[in-house]
Amino acid sequence: MLAVAVSPDGRFIVSGSSDRTVKVWEAESGRLLRSLEGHTHWVRAVAVSPDGRFIVSGSEDRTVKVWEAESGRLLRSLEGHTHWVNAVAVSPDGRFIVSGSSDRTVKVWEAESGRLLRSLEGHTDGVRAVAVSPDGRFIVSGSEDRTVKVWELESGRLLRSLESHTDGVNAVAVSPDGRFIVSGSSDHTVKVWELESGRLLRSLEGHTGGVWAVAVSPDGHFIVSGSEDRIIRAWEPESRESRVLFWNDAAIFSLALSRDGRLLACGDAAGRVWMFDWVR
């Protein structure tokens, strides 16, 4: 399972898979509610709008698709990338969709119309991850070029490039208070950066495989990471200490936390979606 997202109300889970479908699951029971078909290749990224009304997916077919969450109806297909779409995010106000691609660009789209607003160029290799800051001012991207970049959403201007990882950056997240960035890399580390300055605050070491997914708890006190080493870890950034939340029998490729931080969803290399009530 290449991608997972949790709806804002925590009622359903969305997943994207190599079977070319986007699936919607009831969080409480695990029941499959609907399967969204339209992509012609692997679905590598999914996101849910802040109001829960629409789902966004990105695929190796080079498109970003927007679906009505309630019915599963395809609303629009956004075309402009020239290679795989590896990452998608929705701005906090729901007005913009952000996508990252192996074509080395980050693109910003108008959610309502699907119109391409701007294409952000600066990465020298494929973009694997994107996130939008809680205040909607910044886009954060992670790339195979080993950098994390911070862009101004409104203008598309590159503000800073964060360099310390020694291998590709697979995952990025922004803390709920907007103060720091978290990145996960094939170099096996999770790094924490100050968003405003780009300063590296700490490097969290404990995984023995590439880190493909990261998330931050709503209170900002914990970071959750998933890795090729088949482990999900919860970190306390201040102490750099971690504990194992889940030891799987397959690599963890994606994870997401609900808005209240109680539900943790993850997707693994065996094509499964796992859901946990995470009591910290």
| Over residues 68-83, mean pLDDT | 98
Residue 16: per-residue pLDDT: 98
What domain range includes position 16? 3-277
Give the confidence band of 111 by pLDDT, cuts at 50, 70, 90.
very high
pLDDT tens by residue, 5-59: 999 999 999 999 999 999 999 999 999 999 999 999 999 999 999 999 999 999 9
Higher pLDDT pick, 162 / 261: 162
- Number of structural domains, the chain? 1
- pLDDT at 68 exceeding the cut of 90: yes
Residue 239: per-residue pLDDT: 86
pTM of the model: 0.97
Residue 280: per-residue pLDDT: 53
Count of other CB atoms within 10 angstroms of residue 38: 17
61's tokens: 């077919």
**How many whole angstroms separate alpha carbon 171 and alpha carbon 222?**
16
DSSP the chain: --EEEE-TTSSEEEEE-TTSEEEEEETTT--EEEEEE--SS-EEEEEE-TTSSEEEEEETTSEEEEEETTT--EEEEEE--SS-EEEEEE-TTSSEEEEEETTSEEEEEETTT--EEEEEE--SS-EEEEEE-TTSSEEEEEETTSEEEEEETTT--EEEEEE--SS-EEEEEE-TTSSEEEEEETTSEEEEEETTT--EEEEEE--SS-EEEEEE-TTSS-EEEEETTSEEEEEETTTTEEEEEEE-SS-EEEEEE-TTS-EEEEEETTS-EEEEE---
- The CATH number linked to 155 is 2.130.10.10
